Structure 1
Amino acid sequence: MAEIHGVCEDRFGEMREMLAASLAKDDVGASVAVYVDGEPVVDIWGGYADAARTVPWERDTITNVWSTTKPMTALCALILADRGELDLAAPVAAYWPEFAAAGKERVLVRHLLSHTAGLPVWDEPMTVEDLYDWHLATTRLAGQAPRWEPGTEAGYHAATQGFLVGEVVRRVTGRSLGAFFAEEVAGPLGADFHIGLAAEHDPRVSPVIPPPTLMEPPSDLPANPLLRPEEANTAPWRRAEIPAANGHGNARSVGLVQSVLACGGTVRGVRLLSEEGCARAVEEQFRGFDRVLGTRMWYGMGYGLLEPRPLLLGRDGRLAGRDRPRRPHDGGVRHEPDARPGRRPWHGFPAGRLRGVVLLTDLWPLYSGLIGLSMIVVCESSPGEREDHACAFVQVSSPRASRRWPPSASPPRRRRPAGHTSANTPATRSV
């Protein structure tokens, strides 16, 4: 078994064992964090930060987390909406006038957050270097026509979503998305997460390890630009702000930031959102076939919704349920129902509080196996009125070729067991 460092409460001992087992097999290095009511109850790490297994994964090791950057970007938009500075139902052009070109006057801010804006890729040929030019990337998006009627269909905006939401944030605040996140989110929370990484942090970055093979994107929506794993290991990539793909952090920082949604908007005495602001994340925006992912998806406001899964932690510390996702997703919020009399339902779901943040990522062909991330989610409820909120995140820097689907195969669909029932409302994931 691999040696695991850090602290882990006894009731979460299974997580330590699973991390050690993972590192003893295919994975190279990883960190795991669990927050309950905003406080860390698990903060462990192990393995190595390089493919040659010569540099140990340390407490402060960070890595490029790809689309786990998206929940950070979505959180910025939710914060501005909660402050009354951004109307999620307003046309994007109300904040970004040039965006109204080519029939996009009906694109709303919420469409950007739910992958329904019709701008999943750039129409003009793009190079990776073009992603480092914010003005060029956003100007090209502002000038192109949507591929479908906004809000009626969905297609995963793998790289464009960050530029679209980020430009709206810049127009509203006068600050780049990375600067807003650093000053309004990471800074107040003390979270070691960066969108646009300063050179001083380079020595502690674990490089992305490419997988053995890469899968091509859908033929009708080719990747533009085509991203290769090794791009994330370059200085220009790290210095740029690519708010859908180049965030750098570790389990501790991702868990800390996203536990804001699990804890009603306040963590460690820092209030970033009201409870109503947190609830916006699970407002359903789309349910149906995703034209890019090639499967059915369910999108909220910056977070993708998951079918209910009972995920409970027994008093003995053992997990009573696990959600091992088959489809791509990078994070989310679990909402549990509150059946107490007088509680009002909202957004079609039973009333209640957001009970836990769920950040889940699997190796999925659309990402070309850029990084391996997996997640175990734990939620528990204490007797009486008190509610515990848990956020867990597992980050792995190596590929798991055995878990990849062959290029000719479609992503497997999740099947509900016969007779399965659940009183839970949907969990969500950031996509």
Structure 2
Amino acid sequence: MNAPHHFPTTSQRYDLQRLLDGAVADGVAPAVSCAVVVGTAETGRRELPVLTSGAAATATLFDLASITKLFTTVTALILVDSGVLELDAPIGRKLPAYATGPKSQLTLRHLLTHTSGLPSEWRGWDAALAEGRGFERTNLVTDLLATELEAAPGTRFAYSCAGFNTIMALAEHVTGTPWEQLVRERLLYQLPTDGITGTPRIEHCAPTEFQPQLGRGLVRGIVHDEAAWSLGGLSGNAGMFATADGLRIFGLSLLDGLPGILSPALAAEMWRCQLPDILGSNFNPTDPGFGHGLGLRINQQPWMGTLGTEARGHGGFTGTSLLVDRESSVVIALLSNRVNPSRDGDDATGLRKAVSDVVLSAAAQLTQDLTHERNTL
């Protein structure tokens, strides 16, 4: 870097803008936005001004898709901190649908680490449409909770949206409070931003997919994920919307251990890889990206980048990602609507990796320059 106390350099900002513009020009997504932080509170943090390309402004809200699972995780852990939920007690003690049979051994930790044994998807919404029943939320949640396990809890890792919607149902059952209200009051109100919401205004949102086959037309300001849509919007697996800067602020809170939101012990559990302890001999440490904290994915190659082996975060089907790396003191919030007008195009993995590589390389150089400066004083 040309100056150790300046991030980004003109060249680095140009590189990132070029990547965003190239993604729009190549048809990866019609709208892209990116917000970056590099540096620690001790050395000073450098925030990159929000970059946009295509049909995006700095105030554009994007459907975060599965990044929502991080908000679900923190909300659930807030309930653990307050004594409403327990991390390692069988959820069947509070949720009747899980009180007997193989499900009776399933815990919140299993759900948060995708080791519950539940299938990847719950498709009760599809059956409701096919049978012309429409969406009646109480019936849909009952159907969700009747989902059978595919494996015994704690014996496999298999990514499960159904599991995170089960967390939502559990939290609603024990608190008697609608999920959107729980997330808003317990978590969002604690974050210093209005750039994250589960109830966006349509005119502020980037559109996602054109779905006439589902009677939805062009989806905008309504969650793209069909399961979350059927459940009324913001759900355990999807439904949060954010600006790039709003997501960056949440990422900074994660980087700092969620101060004022979670106890240090639970914040540390989010960060720690859980799978060796849970899976035992079924854990395969040689599988790239085979790591998971509570809610946080670890070393998700290739999108977290060549230098992102210690990174945490989450991606979203709509073309979104949040990367948080304590080793490099980096937050990258990258948002796109790559599913507009169809999900069949580029999945934005290349864009996400390229942005990660540029930022993490710059962070490594910044650290090297600052270390050299300290050693020569």
Shift of 1:48: 2.9
Deviation by residue 1:85-129 (Cα, 9 ceiling, x = unmatched): 321101111221222255311111111111121222337673586
For 1:135, the aligned partner's letter is T
**Could you say if the C-alpha distance between residues 154 and 146 of structure 1 is closer, same or farther in structure 2, counting changes exceeding 3 Å?**
same
**Could you say if the C-alpha distance between residues 281 and 397 of structure 1 is closer, same or farther in structure 2, counting changes exceeding 3 Å?**
same
Is the 1:359–1:392 contact (alpha carbons within 8 Å) kept by the matching residues of 2? no
Normalised by the size of structure 1, how large is the TM-score? 0.61
More displaced, 255-264 or 70-79? 255-264
Q: How does 1:273-312 map to 2 (within 5 A)?
A: 273-286=262-275, 297-306=290-299
Once residues 327 and 297 of structure 2 are traced to their aligned partners in structure 1, the CA distance between those partners, rounded to angstroms, is 22
Show the counterpart of 2:63.
Answer: 64
Match of 1:240 among 233, 237, 240: 233
Is the 2:112–2:164 contact (alpha carbons within 8 Å) kept by the matching residues of 1? no
Shift of 1:206: 0.4
Once residues 155 and 229 of structure 1 are traced to their aligned partners in structure 2, the CA distance between those partners, rounded to angstroms, is 30
Q: How does 1:1-80 map to 2 (within 5 A)?
A: 10-13=6-9, 16-27=13-24, 28-35=30-37, 41-49=47-55, 57-80=56-79
Show the counterpart of 1:385.
Answer: none
**Seq. identity, %:** 21
Show the counterpart of 1:391.
Answer: 331
Matched positions, count: 311
Once residues 251 and 272 of structure 1 are traced to their aligned partners in structure 2, the CA distance between those partners, rounded to angstroms, is 21
Normalised by the size of structure 2, how large is the TM-score? 0.68
Is the 2:36–2:48 contact (alpha carbons within 8 Å) kept by the matching residues of 1? yes
Deviation by residue 1:21-54 (Cα, 9 ceiling, x = unmatched): 12322323222223466877224132233xxxxx
Q: Which runs of 5+ in 2 are unaligned?
A: 25-29, 350-377
Shift of 1:204: 0.8
**Could you say if the C-alpha distance between residues 396 and 128 of structure 1 is closer, same or farther in structure 2, counting changes exceeding 3 Å?**
farther
Once residues 243 and 11 of structure 1 are traced to their aligned partners in structure 2, the CA distance between those partners, rounded to angstroms, is 36
For 1:59, the aligned partner's letter is T
Q: Which runs of 5+ in 1 are unaligned?
A: 1-8, 50-56, 211-225, 310-321, 327-331, 335-356, 363-369, 382-388, 406-431
Shift of 1:185: 1.6
Report the 3-state secondary structure (helix = DSSP H, G, I; strand = E; otherwise coil) of the residue aligned with 2:99: helix
Show the counterpart of 1:53.
Answer: none
Once residues 222 and 269 of structure 2 are traced to their aligned partners in structure 1, the CA distance between those partners, rounded to angstroms, is 36
Q: Would you tell me which structure has more helix in proportion to its own residues?
A: 2
Is the 2:33–2:334 contact (alpha carbons within 8 Å) kept by the matching residues of 1? yes
Q: How does 1:169-248 map to 2 (within 5 A)?
A: 169-189=171-191, 190-195=193-198, 197-198=199-200, 201-208=201-208, 232-233=219-220, 235=222, 240-248=233-241
Shift of 1:285: 3.2
Shift of 1:148: 0.8
Report the 3-state secondary structure (helix = DSSP H, G, I; strand = E; otherwise coil) of the residue aligned with 1:361: strand
Deviation by residue 1:327-352 (Cα, 9 ceiling, x = unmatched): xxxxx995xxxxxxxxxxxxxxxxxx
For 1:372, the aligned partner's letter is G
Match of 2:313 among 350, 353, 359: 359
Once residues 69 and 392 of structure 1 are traced to their aligned partners in structure 2, the CA distance between those partners, rounded to angstroms, is 16
Deviation by residue 1:271-310 (Cα, 9 ceiling, x = unmatched): 10122221011343325789xxx9873222222232899x
Aligned-residue CA RMSD (Å): 4.0
